[in-house]
Chain A
Amino acid sequence: MLKFIAKRLLQAIPVLLGIITIVFFVMRVFAPDPVGMLLGQEATPEKIEALREYWGLNDPLAVQYGRFLGQALTGDLGTSLKSRQPVIGELLSRLPATLELGLAALVFSVVVGVGIGVAAAVRQNSVFDRAAMFAGLIGMSMPVFWLGLMLIIAFGVNMGLLPISGRIGLDISLVRVTGFNIIDSVIAGNWAALASSVKHMAMPAFCIGVISCASFARLTRSTMLEVIRQDYVRTARSKGLRERTVIIKHALKNASIPIVTYLGVQLGSVVAGAVLTETVFSWPGVGTYMVNGINNYDYPVVQASALILAASFVLANLLTDILYGYLDPKIRKA
């Protein structure tokens, strides 16, 4: 198993290098000159030249690339043109918000999606099955940003049940330890903060999770339908095991491999959903940071956020791979 994990880790390195390279070339080659953007009306040829020299923009592209690579690998992602702060610090303070939201969405989509899928497969062709699959079809066609706005109208504006923006109530103070509000409030024993965090997270997490949830439900249903007809399931039943044990221990366990594979695919939609949903709910995460960066023409910010989001996507895929190897010995040995 250790060997398998090590191999997968090594394989991720060229992909990460590739991501850094693509981001660098796209941003440096195609992007308009950041110096002119930054100086705006104060731009004089001398000032521009001085700033270009200062940032090393006059060096050959290969030199710039080498420097960028070295800096990126040591964690230096540049300085924000707007706030004049190191980007890495701003990003790290926002990353837990995005991760917390993404994890919540993923847990929601897997638990609910797999649950619905199993229930639908067990009662194949029932009213529940048909209704669930049709709802899934609609769920998969739903633009997340629109769904978010509709939730805001329903639960935030009309019913006043849930807060429509931010991570935690403004009147609540919480000591930051890990940056994950839920963990922090449990550590501090601050139950008001916990309730507030969960309430703030409910709508955005649902919103990001709903598309994956629909896909998981459809996939689980079809794999379960295949597995339920296998001989070992019939054997388990004929041994007199309870139906619940048969479904969960014998059928679902064997159906879990394609579901885990699909987890990797769905991580992308979680990352993409995070960028859009954070904008809808003003969630202070990496997604809003990046969109603000674009609107301010703040290239280091865009570049670094893109790197972080893509890298977390790759790393999450790596974890899925490892989980996959754990579940399926055939993969591990191959």
Chain B
Amino acid sequence: MNEGAENAAMERDGELNAVLDWELGEERSGELGGRLNDELDRGLGAGLGEGLGNGLDWELGESLYDGLGKSLGESLHEGLGEGLDGEPLAEKAPSFFRDIAARFCRNRLALASLCALALIAAIAVFAPLIAPYSPYAGELSMISAKPSAAHLLGCDENGRDVLSRLIYGARISLTVGFLAVAIQTAVSIVIGLFVAYYGGVLDTVVMRFLDMLMAFPGILLAIIFMSVFGKGLENAIMAITIVGIPSATRMVRATAISAKESDYVQAARAIGCKSLSIMFKHILPNIMAPIIVTATMSISGTILSTAALGFLGLGVQPPTAEWGTMLSMGKNFIYSAPYLVMFPGAAIAVTILAFNLFGDGLRDALDPRLK
């Protein structure tokens, strides 16, 4: 084995140890990691690709096989094979995240959407620095003023600068989008893991209840909740979060059930891991990829629902600058000032399109089988 191959092997060992730590937690990684490493070493010495492939398989579970196991396995196979034949290793095998990043970047549309999202996020964060005017202070002389050099997108019925309100509106949309998705993902992970792990009556009861919630079209359920919670931003976040929980839980449960049967869970149980630690330390990291994809994909729906509630007059209340509410106010002036409707809607559409494209790209990069 030449120097390059040895280096590569050492690097790989390090990487696998890191993965092991991630999977097993520190206390276990010593004990089990030692055993796994022995096996890996044997695999590496023997003829490589397959032994490692198995090790990785065992480690990562089926859900990630295509995305990670295969590509890592294959590249390792190639790299090590070449190394053994006496050829210098051209480049080192890509890591998990680098691999995903590389695949994501090959998708130009997805890359463009990422840039667009970064721009929107920057606009939201630096709103006070970017916005040319205050989003709340109106000028009497500028009521319903047409777009001009001073006010690029015109002014609304209260003489407030539309561009500044749109810039501040990005804050609300993104906050609600991320917050609602974060909460619903967290809740659905907990419920999904528990029902998948324990199964039985718990599973049946919880899932039938969630199925019933899913019998309502999403926005209808959100409207029902808003009608009883009352209008406003916090209630809108709450309603939108609840509405998203059933489908997210279903997804977590389905992937967790298949992960539950894998060898690494059996192994964890065999060495006496507690149920909680199996659920959250072993199963969860291995089903994270589809969860992240689903969460990203649901951000656009969440932003759309926020805007829809705002448009119906049930969401964020004026004078707060929110895109849907701006649309709802603007529609009263559709004859005299159509631009009051055009721009906020365009902002919603562009943001949703960017999130959809980004979600598609991320899905293809993380798990090409889902394409």
Residues of A within 8 A of B (CB): 15, 18-19, 21-23, 26-27, 30-32, 137-138, 140-143, 145-147, 149-150, 152-153, 157, 268-269, 271-272, 275-276, 279-280, 290-291, 293-295, 299, 302, 306, 309-310, 313-314
Contacts and interface: CB of A to CB of B under 8 A. Distances in A.
Interface residues of B, number: 43
B224 A306 contact: yes
B276 to A, nearest CB: 31
Contacts of A269: 217
B223 A30 contact: no
Given A143-B307, A294-B314, 9 more contacts: A22-B213, A138-B349, A141-B300, A143-B349, A146-B327, A294-B226, A294-B227, A310-B216, A313-B216
Nearest to B307: A143
Name the residue in B300, B308, B352 with the highest tally of chain A Cβ atoms < 10 Å from its Cβ. Answer: B308
Nearest to A291: B312
B67 to A, nearest CB: 21
Contacts of A143: 304, 307-308, 311, 345, 348-349, 352
B342 interface: yes
Interface stretch (B34-42, B49-57, B140-148, B333-341): B333-341
Interface of B: 208, 211-213, 215-220, 223-230, 300, 304, 307-308, 311-314, 327, 330-331, 334-335, 338, 341-342, 344-346, 348-349, 352-353, 356-357
Contact of A141 (B211, B226, B228, B353): B353
Main secondary structure of the interface of A (DSSP, over half): helix
A250 B345 CA distance: 43
A28 to B, nearest CB: 9
Contacts of B312: 275-276, 279, 291, 294
A15 B214 CA distance: 10
Contacts of A31: 227-228
Name the residue in B219, B224, B312, B346 with the highest tally of chain A Cβ atoms < 10 Å from its Cβ. Answer: B224
A295 B216 contact: no
Contacts of B344: 146
A268 B341 contact: no
B301 to A, nearest CB: 11
A145 B349 contact: no
23 contacts: A18-B215, A22-B216, A23-B224, A30-B229, A32-B230, A137-B357, A143-B311, A146-B327, A149-B334, A149-B341, A149-B345, A152-B334, A268-B217, A272-B217, A276-B219, A276-B308, A276-B311, A280-B331, A291-B223, A294-B223, A310-B216, A310-B220, A313-B217
A145 B327 contact: yes
Contacts of B217: 268-269, 271-272, 309-310, 313
B349 A146 contact: yes
